[in-house]
């Protein structure tokens, strides 16, 4: 058991004090959008996010397809808005432990608020981080560089407050001695807050498919095989490296391959479905790479290009016109050469299906999405249903997509199935409207 | 030291918490690598392969720490060589 788990075991249960109209679980773009819509309608919202900042995956992206707008520029104002809205109470670094339906439109929820070991006086100056001597992989950069055990999640985190990762702390006290406002407090204790809410909205999003499982691709073993999420980080304004460079030695890549459908449409990995966003985010990244590295070759290995949305086909054609090469063929395996380059073996469908190989110096696995729906386990008494692949099941996909198997519990965004940001925001708006209708119907 | 300033000591005393071997090793290793990189850069900007030659450390470990040092303002990129490697230099002061 880790140090933090030992401390969390001693959480202090608080008496039930407050009630809200809606509990929104998950502070990605879906949860933020729905919370803001509901709060603007006058409903009192409790938004619970498990990470130390809101923002979800969108904040971490470079630009968004097909408009190529800056992702963090769009998401930061929303992140700030949820923390300032008078009708929204935000608990970050918190976990929902239990949701129990007592009667119609009456749910009791228990929420674990974890200690950050840093008081709210923290000004986010980052001095604790500078002096902390322990370096561990930074989650928000998917391990591409390090962070300290005392750290601020990222520059525009909401809230922009430091926290101490006790599982990696060596208890040297440097952070505490350095903090100019005396905000570090190792004696903070976890608390369990009990609340009553009238409706619940699940917006816990997705996780990346665990592509280590496809051992033929060597992810985790070959340094220059990265995921598309890592590539989006490399292309973002808040990027972990000073340029797009390969992790094995910091060289600027000259030949980059994308392997589409990594972990999607793959029965051997028990994930037969299309992740819906990988074709377009790969086309986006290809265009951005050709801008960042004009001399580099970009090759996309694909089964089919699914460019189904507004402006997507044009976006795909634009990438081709810019010089991205599209090779129809499934990649069977990847090998590493002595100088950290990678050999891709693939079925060359347009040349009679023969087995071909090509060498690249950086490979991006366009990894699919998997549901982040473990939240179903906190429901007591009634079952929040999932489909056979683990996505939350809609009450009726055609006419009631955002209602779930429990009346009064709604869902929005990628927890219902893979989708892009515009569809996620639309669904969040729809869910907010349905929650409002439900609350008005059941009355106070 | 005032009571407020010694919460880490109080926590250690109260719960008998000790730094784990793994975390001490993490600290020791990052200090070792970062000191070696700093030393190698003292006589001028270098690429990752050049730092590897000077220190005997692996290129990927050097690059990972270099990018972490970049985040904390300890090193900064210089010009790029013909093979596509940036040189990095120590930030003054
Ligand atoms: C590499 C890549 C590139 C992409 N590029 C684009 C693009 O260019 N354009 C586009 O439109 N889409 C893109 N997408 C898709 C986009 O990321 C999603 O559409 C969007 O992020 C979905 O938002 P969400 O809020 O549903 O989920 P998420 O962003 O996953 O947010 C879910 C939030 O819930 C929190 N959470 C999870 N579990 C719990 C819990 N138990 N309790 C409390 N909180 C919890 C998470 O920490 C997170 O903050 C891309 C996806 C990938 C993988």
Is the distance from CB of A131 to CB of A178 less than 8 angstroms?
Answer: yes
Closest CA to A360 of A259, A257, A283, A223: A257
Tell me the pTM. Answer: 0.97
Separation of A56 CA from ligand 1 center, angstroms?
Answer: 5
Coil, helix or strand for A119?
coil
State whether residue B46 sits within 8 Å of chain A by CB.
no
Domain boundaries, chain B: 18-90
Verify whether the Cβ–Cβ distance A250 to B63 is below 8 Å: yes
Q: Does domain A119-188 have CATH number 3.30.70?
A: yes
Separation of A415 CA from ligand 1 center, angstroms?
Answer: 9
Q: What angle do CA A14, A19, A23 make, to 5 degrees?
A: 100
Residue B74: predicted pLDDT = 96
Give the CATH architecture of domain B18-90: Orthogonal Bundle (1.10)
CATH H-level, domain A3-115+190-205+372-442: superfamily: FAD/NAD(P)-binding domain (3.50.50.60)
- Of B20, B49, B65, Cβ closest to residue A249: B49
pLDDT in tens, A320-374: 999 999 999 999 999 999 999 999 999 999 999 999 999 999 999 999 999 999 9
Tell which of A2, A8, A146 to mutate to test the B interface (max B CBs under 10 Å): A146
Coil, helix or strand for A151?
strand
Within chain A, all domains assigned CATH 3.50.50.60 are found at 3-115+190-205+372-442, 210-368
pLDDT exceeds 80 at position A444: no
Is the distance from CB of A438 to CB of A22 less than 8 angstroms?
Answer: no
Verify whether the Cβ–Cβ distance A145 to B80 is below 8 Å: no
Whole-number Å distance between alpha carbons of A397 and B32:
57
Closest atom of ligand 1 to A63 CA is 8
Verify whether the Cβ–Cβ distance B26 to A177 is below 8 Å: no
Sheet holding A255-262, edge to edge: A225-227, A362-367, A255-262, A297-302, A325-328
Closest-CA distance, A179 to chain B, in angstroms, reads 10
Tell which of A117, A230, A243, A249 to mutate to test the B interface (max B CBs under 10 Å): A249
pLDDT in tens, B15-53: 888 899 999 999 999 999 999 999 999 999 999 999 999
Give the CATH architecture of domain A210-368: 3-Layer(bba) Sandwich (3.50)
Q: Ligand 1 pocket by C-beta < 6 Å: which residues?
A: A 25-31, 48-51, 56-58, 61, 64-65, 95-96, 203-206, 228-229, 232, 277, 281, 284, 372, 375, 413-414, 419-422, 424
Nearest residue (by CA) to ligand 1, atom 38, is: A204
pLDDT exceeds 90 at position B14: no
pLDDT exceeds 70 at position B57: yes
Closest CA to A134 of B51, B30, B5, B19: B30
- How confident is residue A138, by pLDDT bands cut at 50, 70 and 90? very high
Which sign does the torsion angle of CA A3, A174, A146, A287 carry? positive
Strands (E), A323-407: 325-328, 331-336, 342-348, 354-360, 362-367, 369-371, 379-380
Closest CA to A50 of A10, A112, A95: A95
């Amino acid at each position: 058991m880790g140090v933090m788990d030992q401390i969390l075991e001693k959480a202090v249960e608080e008496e039930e004090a407050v009630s809200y109209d809606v509990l929104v679980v998950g502070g990605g773009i879906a949860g933020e959008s729905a919370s803001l819509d509901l709060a603007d309608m006058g409903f009192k919202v409790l938004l619970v996010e498990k990470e130390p900042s809101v923002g979800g995956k969108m904040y971490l992206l470079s630009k968004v397809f097909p408009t190529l707008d800056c992702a963090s520029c769009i998401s930061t104002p929303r992140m700030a808005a949820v923390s300032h809205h008078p009708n929204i109470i935000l608990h970050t670094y918190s976990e929902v432990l239990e949701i129990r339906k007592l009667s119609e439109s009456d749910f009791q929820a228990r929420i674990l608020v974890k200690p950050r070991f840093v008081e709210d006086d923290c000004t986010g100056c980052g001095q604790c981080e500078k002096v902390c001597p322990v370096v561990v992989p930074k989650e928000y950069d998917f391990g591409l560089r390090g962070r300290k055990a005392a750290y601020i999640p990222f520059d525009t985190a909401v809230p922009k407050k430091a926290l101490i990762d006790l599982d990696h702390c060596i208890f040297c006290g440097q952070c505490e001695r350095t903090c100019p406002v005396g905000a570090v407090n190792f004696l903070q204790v976890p608390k369990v807050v009990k609340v009553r809410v009238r409706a619940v909205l699940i917006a816990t999003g997705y996780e990346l498919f665990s592509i280590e499982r496809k051992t033929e691709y060597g992810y985790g073993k070959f340094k220059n095989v990265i995921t598309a999420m890592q590539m989006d980080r490399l292309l973002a304004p808040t990027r972990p490296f000073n340029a797009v460079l390969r992790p094995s030695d910091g060289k600027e890549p000259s030949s980059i391959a994308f392997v589409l459908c990594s972990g999607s449409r793959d029965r051997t990995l028990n994930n037969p479905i299309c992740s819906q966003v990988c074709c377009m985010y790969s086309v986006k990244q290809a265009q951005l790479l050709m801008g960042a590295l004009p001399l580099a070759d970009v090759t996309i290995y694909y089964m089919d290009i699914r460019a189904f949305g507004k402006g997507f086909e044009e976006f795909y054609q634009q990438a081709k016109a810019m010089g991205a090469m599209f090779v129809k063929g499934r990649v069977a395996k990847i090998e590493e050469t002595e100088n950290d380059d990678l050999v891709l073996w693939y079925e060359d469908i347009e040349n009679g299906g023969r087995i071909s190989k090509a060498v690249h110096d950086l490979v991006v696995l366009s990894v699919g999405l998997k549901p982040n729906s473990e939240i179903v386990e906190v429901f007591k008494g009634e079952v929040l249903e999932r489909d056979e692949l683990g996505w939350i099941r809609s009450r009726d996909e055609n006419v009631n997509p955002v209602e779930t198997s429990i009346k009064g519990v709604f869902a929005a965004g990628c927890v219902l199935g893979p989708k892009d940001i515009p569809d996620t925001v639309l669904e969040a708006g729809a869910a907010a409207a349905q929650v409002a209708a439900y609350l008005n119907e059941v009355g106070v | 030291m005032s009571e407020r300033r010694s919460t880490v000591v109080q926590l250690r005393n109260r719960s008998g918490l000790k730094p784990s071997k793994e975390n001490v090793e993490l600290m020791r290793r990052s200090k070792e690598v970062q000191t070696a990189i700093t030393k190698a850069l003292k006589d001028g900007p270098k690429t990752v392969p050049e730092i590897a030659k000077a220190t005997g450390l692996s290129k990927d470990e050097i690059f990972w720490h270099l990018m972490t040092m970049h985040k904390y303002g300890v090193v900064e990129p210089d010009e790029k060589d013909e093979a596509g490697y940036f040189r990095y230099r120590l930030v003054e002061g």
